[in-house]
Amino acid sequence: SPAVRLGDGDPMDISADSKWALSRLPGAPDQLALLPTGAGEPRQLTHSKVEHLDARWFPDGRIFSVGNESGHRERTYLIDLQGNESPLTPEGVRAICATSDSKTLLTSNDDYSRFQLFPLDGGAARPLSQLQKGDRPFDFTSDDQALLVRHSGPQGAGEIWRVELATPKRTLLRSISLSEVSSVTGRPYPISSRDGKNYAYRYVRKISAEYIIQGLP
C-alpha cells in the first residue's frame, strides 16, 4: 500500500505493538516525539537539555536514548511515556539494543571499539570477545542467543552476520551487492529483522555530469 506520512523528524524506531513511531525533532537541542501509526495526535515527548542522538523502544514499552548535555560525554538515558529522563549508564557508554526481556543492553564505548552486555539489574557489564574488527552489531536475534552484526564484505558488499554469544560461531545471513557500483557512493548499509527473515538497506547514489569547455585561452 502507499506510504503514509506520520509526522516530522528523523525516524528512530517503532514500538513493539506497532502503535507508535519514535521520532527525533531537530532543535537546539534535538528532542524526541511520539507519532501514532493510527488514530491519535503526535506529541513531543522530551523537553530537556539533552541532545538526543538516537533512541529505541525497549520491548516492554519503555524508551532508551543516547545523548548528552552540553559539556558532557554521550551516555544512555531511560525515558518513560511522560517524557521523564534519568541516566541509565555512565558517561561514555552508548546503548545499541535491548534483549527481548528488556533486562540487558548491548552497549559500546564512544568509538565503537569495545562492546559489552550491560545488565539493568545493577550487575557487572560483560565484555564481548566474539566480535571482530569492523563488526557493527545492531540488534539481538529473536532468541537473544546471538547478535545481528553489520560488516563490510568483499568488492563493496554489505553483509549481515549472526554472531553467537556463547560460542565463537558466526554465520553469514545476507550479502548485498549492488550492480550499479560505478554510480554508488559507499557500501550498502543493511539492517535485518530479529528473526532474519526480512531485511532492508540504504545506499547513496552519486549523480554527476561532465562538461566540455571550448575556446579557453
Mean pLDDT of residues grouped by 10 in the chain (217 residues)? 91 92 94 94 94 94 94 94 93 95 93 92 89 94 95 90 94 87 75 91 84 89
> What does the angle CA 17 – CA 145 – CA 94 come to, to the nearest 5 degrees?
70
Q: How far apart are the first and last CA of the chain?
A: 58
Q: What is the structure's pLDDT at 203?
A: 87
Whole-model pTM?
0.84
Cα 116 off chain centre by: 16
Q: What is the structure's pLDDT at 57?
A: 95
Q: What is the structure's pLDDT at 183?
A: 67
